[in-house]
Structure 1
Amino acid sequence: MKVYFFAQALDNDSTDDWYEFTNNALLKITDEKNQSFVNNMIFELTNNGKKESIQYVDCYFKFVKNDAFDLILLINNEQFDALGRQSKTALIIQNCIRAQNSLDFEKILNLFWEETNRNLLTLSKVANQCNQMFEIVKKKNKLSWLLPLTLVSLGAILGLLFQKLSKG
């Protein structure tokens, strides 16, 4: 599982904030290739993913393997940039395994927002909503691979039943 952050610069004199969360620390992403990869994930998920929303968090997700998913949490921490535009944080989780323990959203958001001088006023509320979204997606992921398994099992049972009925 990989965790990335993106937030637009708060003023025209700064650069956008690109980070990866790894080993309980933030690593600034400076390589344009890696920034482009994260940016492409954001566009892919927001354009083609399924969407769930709570007050401060919009979640876009896509199931990628039997038991894994990608998701992006677009977070409104009630902050505006120097031009008066709403500044959101994108928290991207790539290749998350459903059985994986939940992330400590409060800890990782706090690290990112402190590092990038973001508003911390809504931290607890936003972290709670991120946890809710994460659990919703994990449950939907479980259901998404159970349905085909159920249909295959039902098909096999019906096939055996029809075979038995046709033999008399």
Structure 2
Amino acid sequence: MEDIRIYIFAQALDNSSSDDWYEYNQNSLEKITEENTQSWVNNLIFEMTDKGEREFFNNVECYYKLNSNELLDLILLIENQQEDNIGRKSKTALIIKGYKNITLEFEQILTLFWTRTNRNLSNADLLAKQCNDILEIIKKKGPNEGGSFH
């Protein structure tokens, strides 16, 4: 059985910094430094936003699909009122690969990431609730006979 994998990405807040790439494991963050892994996660983001089903709930936009192992892959694009140094909105991408009906501690994950990367975390509890709400919406839809979600 495939294990769940959780990746978190956000663009740099200024031109002199690098983008923030992390993997979340057992209540900790591990910085992703290998370009191959960064590229793989980036390609997953593009694939999901291009071909996945879409749900939107307040400040969270979600793209998702059922993978070949009948597990859910999803990406949550989270607007946390963060801007970079030239005024562009900086969203956080929370990528979940291989989700199968377990409880995710969104507030813990987001707070850990935003603290580590020096980002706005004043509304982490509200955004975590929105992540939970959108996940519940998707789970209630369930897959159709073809294996994809409605």
Tell me, yes or no, whether TM beats 0.5. Answer: yes
- The number of aligned residues is 144
Residue deviations 1:115-148 (CA, integer Å, cap 9, x gap): 00010121111000000111222222xx315x46
Separation in 1 of the partners of 2:129 and 2:96?
Answer: 17
Higher normalized helix content (fraction of residues): 1
Give the 3-state SS of the residue equivalent to 1:30 in structure 2.
Answer: coil
Q: Match for residue 137 of structure 2? A: 136
Which one of 77, 80, 84 corresponds to residue 87 of structure 2? 84
Deviation of the 1:68 alpha carbon: 1.1
Separation in 1 of the partners of 2:25 and 2:97?
Answer: 12
Q: Match for residue 119 of structure 2? A: 118
Q: Match for residue 165 of structure 1? A: none
Q: Match for residue 46 of structure 2? A: 43
User: Are 1:29 and 2:15 matched, yes or no?
Assistant: no
| Root-mean-square deviation (Å) | 1.5
Structure 1: give runs of 5+ residues left out of the alignment: 150-168
Which one of 2, 17, 29 corresponds to residue 5 of structure 2? 2
Name which structure has the greater RCO, CA cutoff 8 Å, separation 6+: 2
Q: Match for residue 62 of structure 2? A: 59
Separation in 1 of the partners of 2:146 and 2:56?
Answer: 26
Separation in 2 of the partners of 1:89 and 1:76?
Answer: 7
- Identity level (%): 53
Separation in 1 of the partners of 2:44 and 2:54?
Answer: 15
User: Are 1:127 and 2:144 matched, yes or no?
Assistant: no
Question: Counterpart of 2:117 in structure 1: which amino acid?
Answer: T
Answer whether contact 1:102 1:134 (CA < 8 A) is retained. no
Separation in 2 of the partners of 1:4 and 1:53?
Answer: 20
Deviation of the 1:66 alpha carbon: 6.0
Q: Match for residue 160 of structure 1? A: none
Question: Where does structure 1 differ by over 6 angstroms across 4 or more consecutive aligned residues?
Answer: none
Which one of 96, 100, 110 corresponds to residue 99 of structure 2? 96
Distance 1:63 1:38, change over 3 A: same
Separation in 2 of the partners of 1:123 and 1:148?
Answer: 36
Residue correspondence of structure 1 range 154-165 to structure 2 within 5 A:
none
Separation in 2 of the partners of 1:111 and 1:66?
Answer: 29
Separation in 2 of the partners of 1:31 and 1:121?
Answer: 31
TM-score between both structures, scaled by the size of structure 1: 0.82
Deviation of the 1:113 alpha carbon: 0.3
Separation in 2 of the partners of 1:30 and 1:39?
Answer: 13
